[in-house]
Structure 1
Amino acid sequence: MPGARALVAGLAVAVVLAGPAAAETLTMRSGEHRGFTRLTLPVPPEGGWVLGRVGDGYGLRLTGAGASVDTSAVFTRIRRDRLAEVRMTETGVDLVLGCDCHAVAFEERGLIVVDLRDGPPPEGARFEARLGPDRPEPPSLRPGFDWTQSVIPSAGPVAQGPVATPQPSSGPDFGTDPARDLLARQFSRAVAQGLIRADVGRAQTIEARLREATPPAALPPASAPLVPAAPEGLTARAQPLDALDNLRIGATTGIDRARDASGRSGVNREGAACPPDSRFDLAAWGTETDLARQIAQRRQDLLGEFDQPDPARVLDLARLYLHAGFGAEARALLETLPPSSADAPVLLGIAALIDGPEPPSEGGSAFDAHVGCDGAVAMWAVLGAPDLARAGVIDRLAVRRAFAALPAHLRTHIGPRLAQRFLDLSDTDTALALRAAIAPTATRPAAVAVLDAELELAQGRPGAASDIAEAAADGGGPGSAEALATLVEARLAGGLSIPAEVVEDLVAVARENAGTALGLRLARLEGVALAQQGLFDAAFAVRDRLGADAASGPLAAAMSRDLLGRLAHTGSDAALMARVFAEAEWREGTLPPADRRRLAERLLEAGFPAEALAALPSDPSLAQDAFLAGRALLAIDAPGQALRVLAGHRDADAERLRGEALLALGEHGAAVTVFSEAGLQPEAHRAAWLGGLWQDAAQDAGDATAAMIARAGAAMPVIGADAVDASLLPPVVAPPGFAREAASEGELAQAAAMLVDGAELRRMVADLLSAYPPPSD
């Protein structure tokens, strides 16, 4: 097949000429879904990946060619409820969790997909193993298809005796060649990704041709065939061998697809046959000119003899309506004059989706089971799936083909909705491909402008997204409400202020759309925008209005957490104290990690340690949570509980708190050890002084300080330690020019001695206070 040979030859030349790939940047993207957060990252070229447990979450390690990871766009579309932080490592990233959740990873369409799902991991989950400190090896995967195994003889037993001088052979040369190995790896990868097809059956004719062209001495025994048998269930096909047959590579071109009259049936996820493309060929159901005349003609011919509707003509008129984008009219026609045809349910399903709700109905569509089909039905299944993230594997190429085959006006009509479904999956590449297929128009419709803004936002450009959405919102008309919502989301994602007039418009448009999915979205953004301006009472009033409706209860609860987080970060002390004790959503560590920590810090600073403890998880596992919990427990005089919370954490802040807890328990010696091992020498000296551990206090001290310690040790008993070794300390020297006389010399001499001793003691205390000043607080 010339087309296939040209495709394979082109692939081979491109691979050979590519050379070593330079390091490239892999962009991590994200998306929020019901019950999980999704992260995607392109598979590194010529490399692999592994996911496993690390400190506070999971580590994703990349192998192969050096590739850097760009995480700048991760938090543009998600909050920090599940994913608290992304930390760069030498060989990948660490995903710090902010919830009781677990990770599941898989590879799809050249992307590494990591889902952070609510709840604990299932028993025996494969990604719960801890990663080692060294660079990880890629996971053990099934080897890709190796076309060389059919033409390279396997090595037999090593012959004994003298080695014969190799003679030139006229047969094929199967020696190792780096270019061929590179081609084999590339073809194996392409086969695994479905870009090309491995025709195992064709290999059955290779052995005979090789034996004809190879001298008998160069061939292995007949018991060791050059070509392995076809796998069970596959039938070998004998075909003529041409120059590229030994590659066992097949290709399907656009011409081949056009010649396929059956229209790619395949089977869906339930094992039933997928509908043929002919049932979804909307481009063929009408023309772009004189639509009114076409409708009039088909309506005129609608009724047949005895004024009975002709089923075929009813279907033809419904198809014309669908071609024109009149979903409601097609549905009314089919329900009023229902034809007894297998095509009728398909047309009704298309009609419902052309004018369907957004987001899709929870009941789904007529095509839900066909999301994995490789025909045109896949596009309609994606458009109507109520939860696309759980719908199964999507044939994205089939979706793109079906969308490109639609009439231009229908691509403009349903394209933004379809692309948004993939944006919700963090699949920006597919969304961009669908956007490119929308024909340009003189004026950009608001829905297309909103899609453009969403694409800019997904690519980490909130400023550009804000400009596009603002122009669409100012235009008014259909789609302006969605544009206004996107404008506010873009400015919030970019940390940009929201002008007061935009907030006013948001309040008005939210009232107009009350009771709809868009209305709920606008109401949530209204509350967040008011909070950004410091109007927290008004923002919580919007929350209360939403909470009064049972249907929007979950949204109100999520909005409470959002507003409390903003209050903790930006609210004044008065606003925080006035609101936080009246709310319950912040207790038991339910806020996102960054928000709950900031709230705990502010409560500690305000003198409410018990409330700060309530803002944190009851069993904090993250280091930052444990540190704040330890501070709060020490403040409420619970050092024993503080030690239990800090167990397992070894950073400097945790060690400092651990030492303070030991001091509060009276364990001065243990506190000195903890402080010293952590390199906190001032704290270690303080603990030694408090415990009367003079030997510890004298270590690493200067001469003046050691002299002070010697005088203090001579005058005070040692508490909790053996006596000070006098040889380690300088002697006590009397003040110059003063020689104390015996007590019997008189009371005046004793009084003079007391005055001198008092002056010396005051000087020693002053020197100690100068060397160890009291804490500023």
Structure 2
Amino acid sequence: MNRFALITAAMIAAASGAAAKDLTVRSGEHEGFTRLVVHVPQDTGWVLKHTKNGARLHVALKDATYDTSSVFRRLTQDRLTAMSQAKPGAALELEFGCDCVALAYLFKNTMIVIDIAPGSLPPSLISDVPLPVLPENRKHEPAPGSEQALDTLALPLLNQNANGFEDQLSTRLLQGADRDIIDLNIAAVGPRASTSKQEVFLPSDLEMNIQVTSILDDLEGLLGPDIPELKKRRDCVSSDELAFEDWSDGRPFAVQAAYLRSELYQEFDTVDTHKAMELAKLYAYSGFGAEAMTALNLLADQSLETDRVAAIGRVLDNGPLTENNPFAGLQRCDSDAALWAALTEGHLQEDANLTAIEQSFVRLPDHLRRHVGPALSDILVDGKKLEAARRVLRSVDRVNTQTNASLAHAKASVASAEGDAPKTEALLTEAIEASDATFEAPIALARLVDKRWRERGAISPKELELADSYTVEFRHADIGEMMQRTHAVALSLGQEFDAALDALAELPEDEDTADALNRVVLILTERAEDATFSRRILALPQKQADQLTTDTAIAVANRLTELGFSRQARALANRPQDRLRTDELARVRARAALLDQRPHQALLELEEDHTEEAIDLRAEALQAAGEFAAAGALMRGAGRTDDASRFYWLADQTDEAELAQSEKFDLVIKSTLGLTAEVGRLPDTPLADAENLLRDSAETRQMIADLLGTLVEN
């Protein structure tokens, strides 16, 4: 690589890592392993290194932060127990809860896939391989009139068998890769041909009975079962094959439906399958999903076409499908199938064809645009395609004639993603108050309460009363528990902490209830008066205390130390499940130890912490132990000369103080030295001696006044 190429590569690397980047981390449980997927820009450098009981992911992006908020919601095993990042740009730390190893590879040049599975690291593939010893090249005299090129260069190949030559070549390649001399561009895992499709240059007189294979073929068994082969993708469905626009002939719905129903039954009440299919398609095209499913039930035989009509009918009435989706994996297609794939799957895929999705949506009839537009907008917002979501909503506005709760809710999602808080609140309020609101109103209220909690805002009595009524109204519905959690959080925002915690105690113990509990406890810690806080926290059941997150436990423990509850604070800061923010937990335990008059225990807790807060606590512990000189040395090492001089003054080691850099304690120490100086007496002249004592007394009072004034001012 020449100098120009090196400079170009450095400039590209600097440009790619210059801007801060939020990296989304997704997760999933599989049989035998836990999978993490980190989405990165193309051509991003990355390294995964194993650590003790975990791994560390480095990504070559400056100030990159990892969004891990949804990782543990999908994990059911204990292979991954914690994830943390010290600061933006730092590595992502993974902690394992088992004797596991992590294997990583890059998929589609934009996804870092990390598979965590029980096992141990295999030995290095070349650790026991000696350096190859090639046979000495013998000098051959070329035959008269012949050229010495091909035969001499082919000697290593002709003098060894294929396996031996491959072993030596692969060893050299692996050694070069380990030393960063070469870069092995390994293809993605999956079926592939052993030989190259390109022709290989071989000498003309070489026997054609040699099979060339790759070392990766031999390593297939060593990769283990944790990296599954990529599945073959479904073939795309063209718009002509789906023919959704032909499911209605343009006549009024009542006319078409009446004709098809009259022709549905033939002689002897046999069903005309062709008419039944046309009727099902008409119902689906008109937005009647349940009726389309009823018409399909008249068909005895199921086909791919009936599956597609059924999928569209189900998604119109019930939302995304969870199984048996004939449109799964078709968001990449350049046809109407991309739109129905997005709606049936309920989320945007990485390879989604946004242009095809939007064009197909615009071609829908007006009633279907109004019906599926809000759902499609939510899918685009979740996929961080805000401009596409805005275009979809503008398209719905052009055919919408009145205020719609679902449309207002979708607009609120877009405004929230844009960070427009006032607009979000106004749209959520509009969705709650809309006349056609059914399930949209309680969901909009839940989002409004969530927004108020995140902003640490207040909740109005009307909204609190509405949350209470929804809790009763939807207690037997699927959203019943969600409304109970929303009501509990709303009660905490309204300063009704007893009612909020009592409401949570009635809910089942699951992840969602634990999240609501943490929200309520945080508001209790931040806003409740001392009596209410101590009464509810000290009476918190152990099961609920174990459900507190590390952040919540630290906040509660800090306030408990302020109130003097050292034992309870230490218990919250010493839980085995807390593996993140260990320095903050140690500082909480140190404060608790100081409350218990155990300064040496506090010093042990702060041994590896070098933050400003830890230095203050360490100095406080040294002062409590009477080690003023050590506290002065600590302050001087931290560059705080005033505090260092104060501790040296308390230790009666004023010669260690840097008086030239501390005007305050320069005066204090000088006053102290003056006050401790012996008074000169004149025993031979009593009157002069008395006068001298009076003068010394006046000077002493003045020095004391100056000393007290200096201490008070500072």
Q: Give the TM-score, by structure 2 length.
A: 0.64
Letter in 1 for 2:590: G
C-alpha change, 1:29 and 1:641, in structure 2 (3 Å) is: same
The residue aligned with 1:333 is: 295
The residue aligned with 1:343 is: 305
Do the aligned partners of 2:276 and 2:296 also contact (CA within 8 Å) in 1?
yes
The residue aligned with 1:579 is: 536
- Measured in 2, the distance between the counterparts of 1:638 and 1:425 equals 53
1:528-566: CA deviations, max 9, x gaps?
A: 222112111222233233x1xx4x743222211110011
- Measured in 1, the distance between the counterparts of 2:119 and 2:342 equals 29
The residue aligned with 2:682 is: 739
Do the aligned partners of 2:593 and 2:599 also contact (CA within 8 Å) in 1?
yes
Letter in 1 for 2:527: T
SS of 2:297's partner is helix
1:113-139: CA deviations, max 9, x gaps?
A: 999x9x999989xxxxxxxxxxxxxxx
Aligned match for 2:411, one of 444, 447, 452: 452
Q: CA deviation at 1:491?
A: 4.3
Do the aligned partners of 1:472 and 1:483 also contact (CA within 8 Å) in 2?
yes
- Measured in 1, the distance between the counterparts of 2:355 and 2:518 equals 38
- Measured in 1, the distance between the counterparts of 2:549 and 2:414 equals 26
Structure 2 runs not aligned, ≥5 long: 1-14, 74-80, 122-197, 200-212, 214-228
Residue 514 in 1 paired to residue 470 in 2? no
The residue aligned with 1:415 is: 373
Q: CA deviation at 1:314?
A: 2.0
Do the aligned partners of 2:343 and 2:375 also contact (CA within 8 Å) in 1?
yes
Do the aligned partners of 1:49 and 1:62 also contact (CA within 8 Å) in 2?
yes
Q: CA deviation at 1:455?
A: 0.7
Do the aligned partners of 1:28 and 1:74 also contact (CA within 8 Å) in 2?
no
Do the aligned partners of 2:374 and 2:407 also contact (CA within 8 Å) in 1?
yes
SS of 1:303's partner is coil
- Measured in 2, the distance between the counterparts of 1:535 and 1:120 equals 46
The residue aligned with 2:442 is: 481
The residue aligned with 1:212 is: none
Structure 1 runs not aligned, ≥5 long: 1-20, 125-202, 205-231, 233-267, 716-731
Residue 645 in 1 paired to residue 605 in 2? yes
C-alpha change, 1:96 and 1:653, in structure 2 (3 Å) is: farther
Q: CA deviation at 1:647?
A: 2.8
The residue aligned with 1:129 is: none
What are the equivalent positions in structure 2 for 1:494-643 lying under 5 Å apart? Answer: 494-545=455-506, 547=507, 550=508, 553-584=510-541, 591=548, 595-616=552-573, 618=575, 621-643=581-603
Q: CA deviation at 1:432?
A: 3.9
C-alpha change, 1:370 and 1:460, in structure 2 (3 Å) is: same
Aligned length: 579
The residue aligned with 2:151 is: none
The residue aligned with 2:638 is: 678
- After superposing the two structures, state which structure 1 stretch, 698-707 or 760-769, moved more: 760-769
C-alpha change, 1:324 and 1:366, in structure 2 (3 Å) is: same
The residue aligned with 1:132 is: none
SS of 1:396's partner is coil
- Measured in 1, the distance between the counterparts of 2:711 and 2:656 equals 19
- Measured in 1, the distance between the counterparts of 2:303 and 2:448 equals 46
Do the aligned partners of 1:597 and 1:628 also contact (CA within 8 Å) in 2?
yes
SS of 1:370's partner is coil
- Measured in 1, the distance between the counterparts of 2:105 and 2:68 equals 19
Residue 662 in 1 paired to residue 600 in 2? no
The residue aligned with 1:695 is: 655
C-alpha change, 1:679 and 1:667, in structure 2 (3 Å) is: same
Do the aligned partners of 2:21 and 2:64 also contact (CA within 8 Å) in 1?
yes
- Measured in 2, the distance between the counterparts of 1:511 and 1:104 equals 49
Letter in 1 for 2:559: R
The residue aligned with 1:220 is: none
The residue aligned with 1:770 is: 708
1:656-678: CA deviations, max 9, x gaps?
A: 22223234445444322212111
Do the aligned partners of 1:530 and 1:536 also contact (CA within 8 Å) in 2?
yes
C-alpha change, 1:458 and 1:472, in structure 2 (3 Å) is: same
The residue aligned with 2:144 is: none
Do the aligned partners of 2:330 and 2:337 also contact (CA within 8 Å) in 1?
no
Letter in 2 for 1:581: L
Letter in 2 for 1:659: A
C-alpha change, 1:653 and 1:520, in structure 2 (3 Å) is: same
How large is the RMSD of aligned CA atoms in angstroms? Answer: 5.8
Do the aligned partners of 1:49 and 1:61 also contact (CA within 8 Å) in 2?
yes
The residue aligned with 2:11 is: none
C-alpha change, 1:275 and 1:593, in structure 2 (3 Å) is: same
Q: CA deviation at 1:457?
A: 0.6
Aligned match for 2:323, one of 356, 365, 374: 365
What are the equivalent positions in structure 2 for 1:50-199 lying under 5 Å apart? Answer: none
- Measured in 2, the distance between the counterparts of 1:565 and 1:586 equals 17
Percent identity, please: 23
- Measured in 1, the distance between the counterparts of 2:666 and 2:350 equals 77
1:679-706: CA deviations, max 9, x gaps?
A: 2334333433444435335865766655
Larger RCO, structure (CA 8 Å, separation 6 or more): 1
C-alpha change, 1:98 and 1:492, in structure 2 (3 Å) is: farther
Do the aligned partners of 1:269 and 1:370 also contact (CA within 8 Å) in 2?
no
1:308-361: CA deviations, max 9, x gaps?
A: 21323222221111111211112122224433434223332332222115xx57
- Measured in 2, the distance between the counterparts of 1:703 and 1:440 equals 78
The residue aligned with 1:401 is: 357
Q: Give the TM-score, by structure 1 length.
A: 0.59
- Measured in 1, the distance between the counterparts of 2:626 and 2:710 equals 21
The residue aligned with 1:286 is: 248
What are the equivalent positions in structure 2 for 1:226-237 lying under 5 Å apart? Answer: none
Letter in 2 for 1:580: I
The residue aligned with 1:440 is: 398
Q: CA deviation at 1:640?
A: 3.2
- Measured in 1, the distance between the counterparts of 2:598 and 2:297 equals 73
Do the aligned partners of 1:31 and 1:424 also contact (CA within 8 Å) in 2?
no
Do the aligned partners of 2:339 and 2:358 also contact (CA within 8 Å) in 1?
yes
Letter in 1 for 2:426: D
C-alpha change, 1:356 and 1:417, in structure 2 (3 Å) is: same
1:498-533: CA deviations, max 9, x gaps?
A: 322122222212322223343333332222222112
1:170-193: CA deviations, max 9, x gaps?
A: xxxxxxxxxxxxxxxxxxxxxxxx
